[in-house]
A = this chain, B = another copy of it.
Amino acid sequence: MRYIIGVDVGGTKISCALSDLSGNIIETQVVETNASEGESAVLSRIIRLIDKVMIDRDITKEDVKAIGIGAPGPLDARLGIIIEPANLPFTNFDLVTPIKEKFNIPVYLDNDANAAAIGEFMFGAGAGTENMIYITVSTGIGGGAILNGQVYRGRTTNALEVGHTTVDPFSSARCNCGNLGCLEALSSGTAIARRAKDAVLSNIDTSLKKYKTLTSYEVFKEAEKGDKVAISIRDNALRYLGIGVTNIINTFDPDIVVIGGGVSKAGEVVFEKVREVVNERGLKTMTSGCKIVPAQLGTDAWVIGAVALAILLI
């Protein structure tokens, strides 16, 4: 039993990685989720992908020690049940049992952001720390925590929904969760893109007009080039992100805050602005020694996280 399998089940794609027991990735394969086909189709697709990775590498299930699965929340990590994520067809669906029965291998499920946090803690930016908060700033904003050197999951295993903390109660920005003024509604890639589209529609003078599709990527690009509207949208989102990170530091007093996800890939400008707000608003005792750094695991972070989850729990 020299191998670990990690699976990341996302709304658009399913990734499967084979690694050794130290987390070195040997093989990664990706298929479309095709979520609209429903739960049994997606489940079959996950199982076939795991099978294919083993077959392609000439490995039998007896060689695999554990399977880790990361999936979007809300879910119940203890029971292995996916509750009702926005982008997957599973509703109160036991994802662990059929996979465990099929392969006769221990299967561990966790929130994808938790898995990514474990990945960064074991193999990435958080290695060697005791108290690490990971946040992912992408289409949504999620998080995971390692506290006192252990994964912290909370009562329902859904802790660290920092995207749904209110950072501006009088904002008119509506969040997916139904609220106004959530961090996710103000700082996520989706929020940045929405404001960019609104700006273009309002006929304001901006270089963002030239794009047919607008994501946070174009906003960061045009801001970098000096477009005032893009700068304002970017800085507004990063200011709120800075407030979110300040609140995290004043609450958790962590060694390190690791920021991953698409928006973090915009580079140093993100970290500069966030640190600026943290220095302005945070309590010095805690902020002065707390690192705020980019995630290290790159585009495979989620599936590496699923591998890390399994390694942690075996």
Contact = CB atoms under 8 A, between A and B. Distances in A.
Contacts of A282: 164
A254 B168 CA distance: 23
A74 B158 CA distance: 30
A293 to B, nearest CB: 15
Contacts of A290: 155
Interface in A120-159: 130-131, 147-148, 150, 152-159
Interface string A270-288: 0000000000111101100
A30 to B, nearest CB: 29
B165 A168 contact: no
Contacts of A74: 283, 285
A246 interface: yes
A157 B283 CA distance: 13
Given A147-B152, A169-B167, A170-B168, A160 B285 contact: no
Chain B CB within 10 Å, residue with most, of A73, A155, A162: A155
Contacts of A248: 251
A103 interface: no
Interface in A234-256: 239-240, 243, 246-248, 250-255
Chain B CB within 10 Å, residue with most, of A73, A246, A247: A247
A253 B167 contact: no
A239 B161 CA distance: 21
Interface in A23-70: none
A240 to B, nearest CB: 8
A215 interface: no
Contact of A166 (B177, B254, B281): B281
A160 B251 contact: yes
A282 B164 CA distance: 8
A289 interface: yes
B156 A286 contact: yes
Contact of A168 (B169, B283, B289): B169
A248 B159 CA distance: 10
A208 to B, nearest CB: 25
In the A-B complex, the 5 residue pairs with the closest CB atoms? A154-B253, A159-B253, A165-B247, A74-B285, A161-B250
10 contacts: A74-B285, A83-B285, A147-B148, A158-B285, A161-B251, A164-B283, A166-B247, A168-B168, A169-B243, A170-B170
